[in-house]
């Protein structure tokens, strides 16, 4: 039965901590603190780090739109990590939520390698869960599989490194932050933050499944709260909604609605300064669950709903997720051990037992293939297909017809899908995929590397909950986990001719196969047995073709100008609610991604000193870049003055890095004339 939070104060788990010799990597002070802390069964660490990729001339990840290239920065994407350790068994797990479109195997492998160099075997394949918020407003080109780098015209090493660095740094911070903590779980219903964008497919499911979702939406908001020294120090929230409040028309990097929810709680409510080198005293991670058919565009049109302003929609949906998480108020103490299992499975070749299929008969998965409806993308959220091969293009039918002739076996296995592209045969996507199960006390996460529809999620949860003996609402699907395999629909939904079904790449029996693997993981966890890791795909690091996209040769200021010159100055006076807009002679921002730094600062004079009050990680600022001629750059910075801004004297500063003809890079900056805010 779903638990609806009542706002009661969280209850502590009354267990006296006894340290064990099996807890690796703990300092003496942490061990002593844990021993002395009555009621804390766990050690928990939190970390957050910048993961911003290339903000100029880089293809964006998610909509597969060749024209959607980055042209600036609205808010910096970040990686948020939690390390949760059981003081009795010494076991630990890592949960990461990164503001990226997808986690690819290339990213996971590099993160694990970096962690191994630093920590040895402490963090490994089994106990590290990397997940994506699925924002569609970040730079792409960081996969090692060809399909995902088409719209970025190749591999973007700078963006790849920024994402890996951000994830690794957040985990390192979380490891160093370990301290005694209690955990509580709260759940509530959030009714106005998602809508089913594939209702016709959903309606094909049995009535018993649909009864769990009266409005064809999953409204369950689940929050894991971290309490240390009687204070709420961090949360992980799960709620299913696509990161598509920002439309394909957007060119500014943004963590979208989930990133805004994290930012709002951390920065605007708790006052976290991301540029402060001290560890933040609060981390809010807003993760995905089974969001495959859940759209934030409540009017079922790109960038539409609740308003017709995509920026405002991002803020509203993010705020609603924040409100649901904060108002729930953890009232269900988490108790029990920490455990994790992960296996790699060749999803193109799984023999599925009859107990997991709708008709009770054994079945088989298929070599990966996209259906023709994939080419048109999602009409409700926009984009997502193959450039130039939408459903109105006769080339799609020609390609499909040729494939039918070439591979009748694939056609038969994938039926009734009309095949557009044989991804597996062309080695364009990952087929040997990680499936994970994580236990945090009496709470379980099923890590699926796909976009899971809500009924698919329900069936996965039911299978695991039955085996481990957990309440259904204490078992969640963690979608977008550890790798990426497109969509996961039910066999009934697969019969529909829609985008999500065309993107269920391993055929009609893909969900039964994932359910079987998840059940095997749950059985292993329950029985305390181990499972072989399975065969991973080859390392493709040395197969990548670097892109020329977004790589400047040299920078030069506009004729008669110097770097940092103010080309358009602010007015002398502003009132709250107005926008300040200034333009600088700048340089290409990809020269230096300025991780853990900023391209801009809004400064106020306080007691004779200039104090930074906003930067490029804040909602109120926007950093726009545009090329002027062959080598010049124009940088436009806007600041929407908040209603709670302090009156006084202000200025705006720009920070950049210019590349010379010989390749050397030097720092540049500019400062506007002063202006007042009344």
Backbone angles phi, psi at 519, to 5 degrees: -65, -40
Residues 148 and 60: beta-carbon distance below 8 Å: no
Count of helix runs (H) and strand runs (E) in the chain: 13, 34
C-alpha to C-alpha distance for 663 and 659, rounded to whole angstroms: 6
Residues 315 and 401: beta-carbon distance below 8 Å: no
C-alpha to C-alpha distance for 62 and 617, rounded to whole angstroms: 21
CB within 8 Å of 527: residues ≥ 6 apart: none
Whose structure tokens read 């017709």?
A: 308
Give the HSE-up count for residue 365: Cα atoms under 13 Å, Cβ half-sphere: 27
What DSSP character marks residue 266?
I
Catalytic-labelled residue, pool 295, 372, 378, 400:
295
Q: Give buried/exposed letters for 294-326 (b at 16+ CB in 10 A, else e).
A: bbbbbeeebbbbbeeebbebbbbbbbbbbbbbb
Helices (H), 181-309: 199-202, 207-210, 256-263
304 assigned to active site: no
C-alpha to C-alpha distance for 367 and 349, rounded to whole angstroms: 7
Residue 522's CB is within 10 A of a number of other CB atoms, namely 24
Q: 623: which 2 tokens?
A: 């950093």
Q: 214: which 2 tokens?
A: 């009266």
What are the CA-CA distances from residue 466 to residues 4, 270, 306, 518, 665 (Å)? 22, 39, 38, 12, 59
Residues 378 and 451: beta-carbon distance below 8 Å: no
C-alpha to C-alpha distance for 180 and 227, rounded to whole angstroms: 9
C-alpha to C-alpha distance for 604 and 651, rounded to whole angstroms: 7
Whose structure tokens read 């509530």?
A: 188
Backbone angles phi, psi at 320, to 5 degrees: -65, -40
Q: Which residues carry out catalysis? A: 295
């Amino acid at each position: 039965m779903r638990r609806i939070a009542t706002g009661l104060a969280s209850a502590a788990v009354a267990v006296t901590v006894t340290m064990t010799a099996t807890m690796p990597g703990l300092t003496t002070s942490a061990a002593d603190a844990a021993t002395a802390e009555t009621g804390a069964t766990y050690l928990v660490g939190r970390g957050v780090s910048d993961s911003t990729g290339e903000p100029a001339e880089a293809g964006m990840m998610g909509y597969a739109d060749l024209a959607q290239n980055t042209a600036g920065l609205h808010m910096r994407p970040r990686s948020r990590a939690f390390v949760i350790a059981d003081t009795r068994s010494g076991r630990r797990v890592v949960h990461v939520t990164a503001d990226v479109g997808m986690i690819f195997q290339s990213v996971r492998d590099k993160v694990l390698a970096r962690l191994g160099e630093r920590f040895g075997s402490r963090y490994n394949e089994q106990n590290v869960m990397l997940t994506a918020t699925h924002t569609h407003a970040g730079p792409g080109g960081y996969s090692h599989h060809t399909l995902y780098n088409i719209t970025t015209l190749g591999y973007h090493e700078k963006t790849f490194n920024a994402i890996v660095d951000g994830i690794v740094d957040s985990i390192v911070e979380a490891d160093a932050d370990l301290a005694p903590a209690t955990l509580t779980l709260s759940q509530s219903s959030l009714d106005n933050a998602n809508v089913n964008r594939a209702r016709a497919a959903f309606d094909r499911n049995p009535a018993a499944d649909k009864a769990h979702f009266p409005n064809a939406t999953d409204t369950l908001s689940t929050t894991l709260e971290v309490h240390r020294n009687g204070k709420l120090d961090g949360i992980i929230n799960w709620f299913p909604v696509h990161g598509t409040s920002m439309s394909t028309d957007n060119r500014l990097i943004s963590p979208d609605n989930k990133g805004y929810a994290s930012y709002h709680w951390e920065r605007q409510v708790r006052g976290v300064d991301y540029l402060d080198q001290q560890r933040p005293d609060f981390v809010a991670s807003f993760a995905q669950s089974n969001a495959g058919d859940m759209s934030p565009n409540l009017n079922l049109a790109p960038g539409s709903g609740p308003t017709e302003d995509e920026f405002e929609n991002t803020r509203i949906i993010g705020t609603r997720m924040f409100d649901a998480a904060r108002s729930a108020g953890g009232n269900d103490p988490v108790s029990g051990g920490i455990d994790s299992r992960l296996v790699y499975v060749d999803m193109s070749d799984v023999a599925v037992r009859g107990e997991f299929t709708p008709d009770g008969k054994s079945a088989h998965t298929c070599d990966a293939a996209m259906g023709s409806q994939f080419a048109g993308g999602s009409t409700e959220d926009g984009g997502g297909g193959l450039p130039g091969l939408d459903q109105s293009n006769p080339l799609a039918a020609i390609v499909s017809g040729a494939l039918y002739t070439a591979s009748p076996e694939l056609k038969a296995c994938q039926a009734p899908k009309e095949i557009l592209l044989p991804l597996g045969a062309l080695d364009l996507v990952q087929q040997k995929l990680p499936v994970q199960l994580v236990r945090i006390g009496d709470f379980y996460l099923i890590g699926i590397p796909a976009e899971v529809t809500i009924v698919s999620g329900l069936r996965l949860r039911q299978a695991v909950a039955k085996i481990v003996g957990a309440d259904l609402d204490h078992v969640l699907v963690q979608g977008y986990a550890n790798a990426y395999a497109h969509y996961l629909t039910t066999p009934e939904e697969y019969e529909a001719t829609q985008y999500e079904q065309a993107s269920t790449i391993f055929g009609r029996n893909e969900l039964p196969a994932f359910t079987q693997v998840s059940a095997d993981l749950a059985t292993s966890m329950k029985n305390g047995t181990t499972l072989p890791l399975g065969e991973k795909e080859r390392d493709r690091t040395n197969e990548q073709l670097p892109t020329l996209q977004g790589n400047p040769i040299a920078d030069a200021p506009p004729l008669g100008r110097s770097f940092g010159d103010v080309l358009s100055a602010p007015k002398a006076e502003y009132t709250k609610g107005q926008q300040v807009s200034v333009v600088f002679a700048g340089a290409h921002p990809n020269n230096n991604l300025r991780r853990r730094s900023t391209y801009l600062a809004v400064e106020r004079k306080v007691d004779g000193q200039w104090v930074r009050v906003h930067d490029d990680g804040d909602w109120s600022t926007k950093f726009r870049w545009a090329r002027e001629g062959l080598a010049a750059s124009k940088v436009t910075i806007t600041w929407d003055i908040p209603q709670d801004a302090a009156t006084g004297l202000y200025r705006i500063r720009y920070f950049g890095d210019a590349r010379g003809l010989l390749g050397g890079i030097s720092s540049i900056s500019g400062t506007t004339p002063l202006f007042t805010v009344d």
